[in-house]
């Protein structure tokens, strides 16, 4: 492939010339416009194929003022939940004739801002976002709202009120279920490792968890609670501190599965028996929780179902069907979660 400068391609004008008809007719024929004779349509399509003509969506987008592209900003595609969400969303949007432009913020607020601007300039027809870990202000998305471009937040949604669509998991209930389950399994001294409270999902999981403990009269101990990015390294560091004292936890709620997995490894290293000495519950039902020994109890979030809701919302909004959608601005749609019991509880 020698680097040659982009040879100008055949356009509909060229096809039109070759056939001795007008570009408008060619355009209509290719777009299956009804007011064109079957004969012409066939003739045009054949000629176009013969000439290697390809539709130019840049020109088409400019003319139509719509790109048929939807932007997606996600913290990281390597997170199980998001990978599955994306796959499902992409399939549905593809079917509806939209392309999905997938971008990763890498959990950086700055990158998120840049991406928002880029996608705005790219004139995406809609934007779907799951926020970075420390995003609190969402002013970088205001342009979309001002222009009436559909904006959908999912999973990690803004904590402030917004005029965008909001589709989230029932993280409060997830936290509640986790707490209830640990207590019902007999835990008296429960620890908690959470993500930062700047992030909606951890706020809610924490609320639910605390409410559960309160309901059962089990103390929520500040000194056994950690809020930090949920990496393996941070998990080990917190676990070491948790198990450094005389009194040690007999239950742990890890707000993500990476942390729960680290906890299982930690317990093994320390000779802490699971579930006898320590019960562990994670969050997201990452496939890894099922293959590790012992398999980890976790909270399922149904990424595919959430993708369904997001797709439905998008397509409704883009087709201006408006109120027929089940999701409306200002009222978050909350998707169910379930506890999946395995061997750590």
Partner DNA sequence: TTGTAGGCGTTATCAT
Partner DNA sequence: ATGATAACGCCTACAA
Counting contacts by CB under 7 A, is residue 319 touching DNA? Answer: no
| Long-range contacts at 141-148 (CB < 8 A, ≥ 24 apart) | 141/116, 143/116, 144/116, 144/120
CB of 163 to a copy of itself, least distance (A): 5
DSSP 299-330: EE--HHHHHHHHHHHHHHHHTT-GGGSS--TT
Indicate which single residue of 80, 153, 172, 302 sits in contact with a copy of itself (rule: CB under 8 A): 80
CA of residue 145 relative to chain centroid, distance: 20
- Helix (H) / strand (E) element for 191: namely strand 190-194
Which region, judged by CB under 8 A, interacts with a copy of itself, from 131-139, 148-156, 186-194, 200-208?
A: 148-156
Comparing CB distances to DNA, the nearer of 64 and 95 is: 64
Counting contacts by CB under 8 A, is residue 188 touching a copy of itself? Answer: no
Counting contacts by CB under 8 A, is residue 163 touching a copy of itself? Answer: yes
Given a copy of itself, DNA, none, residue 22, with its beta carbon under 5 to 8 Å by kind, binds DNA
CB of 280 to DNA, least distance (A): 54
CB of 319 to DNA, least distance (A): 15
Counting contacts by CB under 7 A, is residue 213 touching DNA? Answer: no
Closest to 126 (Cα-Cα) out of 106, 140, 141:
141
Residue with tokens 């079957």: 38
Comparing CB distances to DNA, the nearer of 59 and 96 is: 59
CB of 86 to a copy of itself, least distance (A): 6
User: Which two structure tokens, joined as six digits, stand for 272?
Assistant: 């802490």
Counting contacts by CB under 8 A, is residue 267 touching a copy of itself? Answer: no
Residue with tokens 């055949």: 10
Residues 6+ away with beta carbon under 8 Å from 231: 258
Under DSSP, the state recorded for 196 is -
Residues 6+ away with beta carbon under 8 Å from 188: 218, 250, 251
CB of 206 to a copy of itself, least distance (A): 26
Beta bridge partners of 101: 71
Indicate which single residue of 12, 70, 133, 164 sits in contact with a copy of itself (rule: CB under 8 A): 164
CB of 101 to a copy of itself, least distance (A): 6
The number of helices, as runs of H, and strands, as runs of E, in the chain is: 13, 12
User: Which residues within the stretch 265-284 sit at the binding site for DNA (CB under 7 A)?
Assistant: none
Indicate which single residue of 22, 42, 147, 184 sits in contact with a copy of itself (rule: CB under 8 A): 147
Indicate which single residue of 67, 284, 297, 298 sits in contact with a copy of itself (rule: CB under 8 A): 67
Indicate which single residue of 17, 18, 23, 243 sits in contact with DNA (rule: CB under 7 A): 23
CA of residue 271 relative to chain centroid, distance: 37
Beta bridge partners of 335: 169
Cα–Cα dist 345/331, whole Å: 35
User: Which two structure tokens, joined as six digits, stand for 275?
Assistant: 């579930």
Applying CB under 7 A, the residues found at the interface with DNA are 8-9, 11-13, 20-28, 30-31, 34-37, 39-40, 53, 55-56, 59-60, 62-65
Applying CB under 8 A, the residues found at the interface with a copy of itself are 1-9, 52, 54-59, 61-62, 65-67, 69, 76-78, 80, 83-84, 86-87, 90-91, 94, 99-104, 106, 114, 117-118, 120-123, 143, 145-151, 163-165, 261, 265, 287-288, 291-293, 317, 320-322, 329
């Amino acid at each position: 492939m020698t680097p040659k400068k982009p040879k100008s391609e055949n356009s509909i004008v060229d096809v039109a010339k070759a056939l001795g008809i007008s570009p408008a007719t060619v355009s209509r024929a290719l777009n299956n416009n009804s007011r064109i004779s079957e004969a012409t349509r066939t003739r045009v399509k054949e000629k176009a194929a013969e000439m290697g003509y390809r539709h130019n969506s840049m020109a088409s987008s400019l003319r139509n003022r719509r790109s048929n592209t939807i932007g997606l900003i996600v913290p990281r595609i390597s997170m199980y939940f998001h990978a599955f969400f994306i796959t499902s969303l992409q399939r549905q949007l593809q079917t509806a004739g939209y392309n999905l432009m997938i971008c990763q913020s890498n959990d950086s607020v700055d990158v998120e801002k840049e991406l928002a601007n880029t996608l705005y300039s790219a004139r995406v027809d809609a934007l779907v976002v799951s926020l970075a870990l420390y995003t609190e202000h969402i002013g970088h998305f205001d342009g979309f709202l001002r222009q009436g471009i559909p904006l959908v937040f999912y999973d990690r949604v803004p904590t402030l009120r917004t005029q965008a669509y909001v589709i989230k998991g029932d993280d409060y209930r997830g936290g509640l279920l986790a707490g209830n389950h640990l207590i019902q399994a007999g835990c008296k001294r429960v620890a908690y490792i959470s993500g930062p409270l700047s992030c909606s999902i951890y706020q809610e999981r924490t609320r639910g968890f605390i409410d559960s403990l309160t309901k059962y009269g089990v103390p929520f101990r500040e000194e056994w609670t950690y809020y930090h990015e949920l990496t393996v390294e941070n998990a080990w560091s917190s676990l070491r501190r948790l198990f450094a004292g005389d009194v040690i936890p007999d239950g742990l709620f890890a707000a993500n599965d990476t942390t729960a997995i680290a906890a299982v490894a930690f317990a093994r290293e320390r000779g802490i028996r699971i579930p006898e000495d320590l019960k562990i519950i994670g969050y997201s039902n990452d496939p890894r929780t099922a293959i590790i020994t012992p398999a980890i109890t976790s909270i399922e979030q149904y990424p595919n179902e959430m993708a369904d809701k997001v797709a439905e919302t998008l397509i409704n909004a883009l087709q201006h069907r408006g109120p027929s959608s089940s999701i409306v601005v200002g009222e978050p749609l909350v998707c169910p979660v379930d506890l999946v019991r395995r061997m750590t509880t």
